[in-house]
């Protein structure tokens, strides 16, 4: 987990609530493999997984996420895609 780009923890806790891999620093497939490893090591972990990348990379994310290895352990049901534009929109909303 120490190699994950961004980890959000539950307030006043060491429990990770969301993990993010940013394609700028980690290819989509490598990020999914990282998430897959975390899921295999701790299947009871209740967290969200998100790949952050340019919107035009969404089809690549979907293609990789539908591989049998990610379907078998359910990562395909617990991993989402967030486009860079959405991150910028969140930033503008939070900072007025």
Query: Does residue 12 fall inside a structural domain?
Result: yes
Share of the chain above pLDDT 90, in %: 71
Query: Does residue 15 fall inside a structural domain?
Result: yes
Query: Does residue 1 fall inside a structural domain?
Result: no
* Average pLDDT score, the chain: 92
At residue 29 the predicted structure's pLDDT band, cuts being 50, 70 and 90, is very high
Query: Does residue 55 fall inside a structural domain?
Result: yes
* Domain, as residue range, for 15: 6-94
What is the number of domains present in the chain? Answer: 1
Query: Does residue 70 fall inside a structural domain?
Result: yes
- CA–CA separation, 42 and 2 (whole Å): 14
Proportion of the chain in helix, strand, coil states, percent, rounded to 5: 45, 25, 30
Query: Does residue 22 fall inside a structural domain?
Result: yes
Q: What is the pLDDT of residue 25?
A: 83
pLDDT, tens digit, 9 for 90 and up, residues 32-58: 999 999 999 998 888 999 999 999 999
Query: Does residue 47 fall inside a structural domain?
Result: yes
Query: Does residue 61 fall inside a structural domain?
Result: yes
**C-alpha dihedral sign at 29, 34, 17, 42:** positive
H or E stretch at 46:
none
């Amino acid at each position: 987990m120490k190699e994950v780009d961004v980890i959000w923890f539950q307030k006043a806790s060491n429990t990770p609530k969301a993990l993010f891999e940013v394609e700028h620093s980690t290819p989509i497939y490598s990020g999914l493999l990282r998430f897959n490893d975390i899921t295999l090591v701790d299947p009871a972990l209740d967290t969200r997984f998100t790949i952050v990348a340019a919107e035009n990379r969404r089809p690549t994310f979907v293609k990789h996420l539908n591989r049998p290895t990610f379907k078998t352990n359910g990562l395909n049901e617990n991993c989402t895609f967030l486009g860079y534009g959405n991150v910028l929109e969140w930033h503008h909303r939070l900072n007025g």
